[in-house]
Structure 1
Amino acid sequence: MVFVKKSFLLISALFLLLSLAGCGKGEAVKDASKYTSAVEDIDIPNYVKVIGFGEATHGNVEFQTLKKDVFQALINNENVRVFVLEGDFGGAQQINQFILNGTGTAEEAVKALDYGIYKTEQMIEFVQWMHDYNMAADEKDRIYFYGNDMQRYDYSKKGLLDYYEVVNSEGGKKYKAQLKDVTNKTMRDLSTSQLEELDKNIDAIIKDLQKNKDSYEKQSSKEAYLFAAQYAQIIKQRTQLFLNDSNYMSLRDEYLANNLQWIVDFEAAQGHDKVLMSAHNGHIEKTSANMAGYKSMGQYLDEVYKDAYYAIGTDFVNNTFQAQNGSGERKNYTIEHHNALVDAFSEIKDNIFYVDFKKANESQELADIVAKEQRMGNIGDDFSFWYKFTQMLYTIKMTPAEAYDGMIIVQEATPTKVIE
């Protein structure tokens, strides 16, 4: 009985220590408000081509709403006309067609992404806002929507086969038969041998597109051809992720970076030289600080674009968010998070504000803080109740000034609700 009682006390003490992990509050910096601005006043250097906007979680109203707020600020202040989401490339083109041509509805367009985290009121409002913006804008001022992810098949397959209907209907029939079992619903049921066969078939399609490039472009357009070739690449990337499951996360970030570069190049040819990319903090940041040790999309972009890549991270203090609990069920969780950076601004009354690290460096105290390694908020779409009892399970240890060029801090964050 004594042993049981001691064990209970030991477990209770350990549980208390874990509960307190990460809850220590740092010091506020005097006059910190002088080094902040409203999101609508974000100012990006003129030489920047790619702006990354990170989400500390996928399950907060504030971070989803910030997609629109940041994009609107960059439209007004930096003439950015292209928004890219960490979402399916093919599905995102359904959103693009809606905001440009009014095809379907905002809700239907968002559901085409087939990502639960985006089936929210905030995302639908954002897409509707982009549609309404375009309907009132001059042709030269219209905005465009992309996804740079490759975790789905359906809409990229449809885009590819629709293209073949125009340029090579007989070839299209053959490829349609080869791809008939490849869908979002069935993709996880495909065997290794089926995936290997699919990979060979996609290689044959890519080869056909390359061989007949001039002919196909004459029958369609240069832009349509480029999209068809990219659809084929997306299908191949999805297949490669299945065939290289042990290297999934690393390969995915490499593909995310490659696909974003394709979008940047394509839109530059249309006269749009700046792009806003929205993804999780772990994809946006430049230092590959994730615990799994793989190279982040942000590091790839930093290497390619150097100073022309500008990363804006996010962090939070008090947060109630929604996420899957491991079994697919979505629940709300609440945590309180502190680090030296968010606590430096704890006396600011605004709930949401932007900190430009270049401006923050004008204060020696803030310069020391942003150059200090610390735990930054980092919550994915999977979360378990016990994660919140130790900070290392919902944060990443990184140096803010090395990972980002600026930070949006949300002091009180509330949960999204997924629309089924």
Structure 2
Amino acid sequence: MAFNEPPSTEGIDAAAQAVRERARPLANESTLDSLVEAVRDSRCVMFGEATHGTSEFYRLRAKLTARLLCEENFSFVVVEGDWTDCYDVNRYVKGESDANHARDVLSEFDRWPTWMWANWEVVEFAEWLREHNRDSAENAGFYGLDVYSLFESMAAVVDYLEDVDPEAVERAKDAYKCFEPYGEDAREYGRSTRLVPDDCEDEVVEILAELRDRRPPHDAEDGEAHFSAEQNALVAANAEEYYRTMVQSSADSWNVRDRHMAETLDRLLDHHGSDSKAIVWAHNTHVGDARATTMAERDRLNIGQLARERYGADDVSLVGFGTHHGEVIAGKRWGAPMERMSIPAGHAGSYEDVFHRAGAEDKLLVFSGDGGELAERRGHRAVGVVYDPSHESGNYVPTALSERYDAFVHVDETEALHPLHIEPEGTEEPETYPWGI
């Protein structure tokens, strides 16, 4: 995925001129109207982000998601987060939780990087979604796409079975004992499979199969509870494969993860019925079609590509988000304390540079037909949870922008996300520029 050579500035003026001619300023409220209009008929709309720590990306996705839920009858939002944690948020926004405030639920997110979902921007959206559900005939859900919660998902399966099937819970406990030697360290489990031939694949698949065999009808009173238990069993099975594969091949483990995301999306759409419509929040590297980047050359796919292949390109809208410069929340290494870091100006010749040269205002560009100069491959910045601003060259993915996305949102200067676990100054919650609808 890295873009390690200096990007070419050839054709940069023509690309910037194309943006000037086609993009619309975000300062104009009708600009968002045009994006809602462009994606409204899709079965699945995916909103990306160039970083996991930028406030504007979260706020804009929240505003657009609220409009799709209110105006276009979308069914749920599913995010790049753990199923177990996000399901607690789902219960809260549906009025099924004893929590008094979304802040209380999101404060319990303790898996690094905590700031991705335990932040004031998501608190604000979750509070809005809870209020929306109170006034709506249909409860819009909030779910997690990711595959990391191996041990948490196994524990959730056991908890569910303890309430509904005492015999099955003993079988689940026996199966999951295979993981006990690893002290709830999924990475340690993965490393161990490199040294010894034994693994726990059969055990987790067995429990998943048993839950699928006892699946209740969609309209059963405990249908969502069973769906969640089955999803946790699926997470456990796919997480086992992910951690086992991670020590052998980064490309293979990436594909295991994104295939799991695609399978989760498909299950949620099926669970909500044939007329259901989904909104996805995830990083650009998952949302933007991998075939329009050098990811494909490294045998990596992603959920945006898989959705286009599965549902048809006309039924999927992929919306990328980017910035030229600003601040971000990230860590200097995996597991390191979160920090507020500066994002330097986009490299000359990159798409970040193209949009900045077209004018410093924030903009939206909806692609249609021939992408022209915006179909040329240029570096496109991708900042992960681990980031070092002094080594920017490895953060650019060669991208044909108009082929990777159906629309692109550019925020020229951005501010850092507001994590819950960093205490705000004073006693008031930080200003997150309420997005409203």
Calculate the TM-score normalised by the size of structure 2: 0.78
**Is 1:355 paired with 2:358?**
no
Contact 1:99 1:128 in 2 (8 A): yes
Per-residue CA deviations over 1:260-303 (Å, capped at 9, x if unaligned) read 1111211225x5x2111010001001134255441122111111
Deviates more, 1:109-118 or 1:259-268: 109-118
Question: Residue 349 of structure 1: CA displacement?
Answer: 6.4
1:14: which partner in 2? none
Contact 2:366 2:406 in 1 (8 A): yes
1:336 to 316, 322, 345: 345
1:81: which partner in 2? 75
**Is 1:32 paired with 2:20?**
yes
Aligned letter for 1:32?
Answer: R
Q: Which secondary structure does the structure 2 equivalent of 1:55 belong to?
A: coil
1:61: which partner in 2? 55
2:150: which partner in 1? 153
- Structure 2: distance between partners of 1:143 and 1:395: 35
Greater helix proportion? 1
Distance 1:397 1:77, change over 3 A: farther
**Is 1:370 paired with 2:377?**
no
- Structure 2: distance between partners of 1:166 and 1:311: 40
Q: Which secondary structure does the structure 1 equivalent of 2:48 belong to?
A: strand
Question: Residue 49 of structure 1: CA displacement?
Answer: 0.5
Q: Percent identity?
A: 19
Aligned letter for 1:228?
Answer: A
Question: Residue 309 of structure 1: CA displacement?
Answer: 1.2
Query: What runs of 5+ residues in structure 1 fail to find an aligned partner?
Result: 1-17
**Is 1:286 paired with 2:289?**
yes
Count of equivalent residues: 388
- Structure 1: distance between partners of 2:227 and 2:205: 16
Contact 1:315 1:408 in 2 (8 A): yes
Deviates more, 1:123-132 or 1:230-239: 123-132
- Structure 2: distance between partners of 1:266 and 1:414: 37
1:49 to 35, 39, 43: 43
Q: Which secondary structure does the structure 1 equivalent of 2:272 belong to?
A: helix
Deviates more, 1:169-178 or 1:238-247: 169-178
Question: Residue 399 of structure 1: CA displacement?
Answer: 0.8
1:266 to 271, 277, 282: 271
**Is 1:314 paired with 2:321?**
yes
Q: Which secondary structure does the structure 2 equivalent of 1:38 belong to?
A: helix
1:127: which partner in 2? 126
Contact 2:343 2:389 in 1 (8 A): no
Calculate the TM-score normalised by the size of structure 1: 0.81
State the Cα RMSD in Å: 3.3
Q: Which secondary structure does the structure 2 equivalent of 1:244 belong to?
A: helix
Structure 1 segment 181-196 matched on structure 2, within 5 A: 185-190=184-189, 191-192=192-193, 196=198
Question: Residue 26 of structure 1: CA displacement?
Answer: 4.1
Deviates more, 1:87-96 or 1:242-251: 242-251
Aligned letter for 1:69?
Answer: K
